[in-house]
Amino acid sequence: MKNTQTENIYTAEQGDYLKNNPEWHVEDSPWKAAQIMRMLEANPIDLKSVAEVGCGAGEILNQLHGKLPQNIHYTGFDISRDAINFANSRTKERLNFKQENFLDTQQNFDLLLMIDVFEHVDDYLGFIRACKGKSDYTIFHIPLDIHVVGVMKKLMVESRKSVGHLHYFSKETALATLADCGYEVVDFFYTTGCFDLQRSMRAKISAVPRKILYTFSKDLAATVLGGFSLMVLAK
């Protein structure tokens, strides 16, 4: 299964993603790993092997390597040479990285991580279905780009240019997508990067109304103001 447009964005020859995101979102990786840990603590799984498709710089797996039991082996996959060049600096015992299309691997894993990935893939439905047979469980992190403010401000066009989002989801369409691809959802929750990861004063101020509305209604905050993502455990 080829995803030509996607590969053009992330390969070193084109380099557009690297130009727009020179740190490959490493700064957000500890937070993302903490969200994964939250899901695993709520839903204990017997793990011996973990893979991440679209691992980027590999810092999420590196974080999990230091938090989960010491008998788990981790493998990160990414089509981008730039990403794997970053990731290889994190290689250690039980943690390795491959510049390889995950769909080409013959390995199977206890847990697959798909963290902010399938919204970038041309044939996202075919990709999600093809990944299903390669792990017992999958944890997805899905940006929820469909919200009132986003539509009014045309933010989806901006995310298409800056981070390569080709598809856009609400909570409802994200969960429906997984069901359509044959997954059984075990658990899910909103993640609050919109106010956990704000570093500038302007961003911190803009997070205030999100926090207030989120306190009263998580669904309403995600639908109207946006900035949230969905963490999903499925099998």
How confident is residue 13, by pLDDT bands cut at 50, 70 and 90?
Answer: very low
Residue 165 pLDDT greater than 60, yes or no: yes
Q: What percent of the chain has pLDDT over 70?
A: 89
Is residue 213 in some structural domain?
A: no
Is residue 56 in some structural domain?
A: yes
How confident is residue 23, by pLDDT bands cut at 50, 70 and 90?
Answer: low
Q: Which residues of 123-152 are buried (b: 16+ CB within 10 A; e: fewer)?
A: ebeebbeebeebbebbbbbbbbbbbeebee
Q: Look at 26-30, 52-56, 200-204, 224-228 and tell me which has the smallest mean pLDDT.
A: 200-204
Give the β-pairing of 185-191 and 109-115. unpaired
Is residue 173 in some structural domain?
A: yes
Is residue 145 in some structural domain?
A: yes
Q: Quick check: helix, strand or coil at residue 13? A: coil
CATH code for the domain of 37: 3.40.50.150
Count structural domains, the chain: 1
User: Are the beta carbons of 111 and 139 closer than 8 angstroms?
Assistant: yes
Residue 119: give the domain boundaries.
4-197+227-234
How confident is residue 157, by pLDDT bands cut at 50, 70 and 90?
Answer: confident
Close Cβ partners of 83 (under 8 Å, ≥ 6 residues apart): 10, 24, 55, 56, 57, 58, 99
Close Cβ partners of 40 (under 8 Å, ≥ 6 residues apart): 68, 139
Q: Quick check: helix, strand or coil at residue 105? A: coil
**What pLDDT, on a 0 to 100 scale, did the predictor assign at position 22?**
52
| Cα(118)–Cα(164) distance, integer angstroms | 11
Model-wide pTM > 0.85 = yes
How confident is residue 52, by pLDDT bands cut at 50, 70 and 90?
Answer: very high
Is residue 203 in some structural domain?
A: no
Is residue 121 in some structural domain?
A: yes
Q: How many CA atoms lie within 13 Å of 159's alpha carbon, on the beta-carbon side?
A: 19
Close Cβ partners of 166 (under 8 Å, ≥ 6 residues apart): 5, 6, 119, 120, 121, 122, 124, 160
**Sheet containing 135-143: order of strands:** 95-99, 73-78, 49-53, 109-115, 135-143, 229-234, 185-191
Is residue 44 in some structural domain?
A: yes
Q: Quick check: helix, strand or coil at residue 24? A: coil
Is residue 154 in some structural domain?
A: yes
Residue 38 pLDDT greater than 70, yes or no: yes
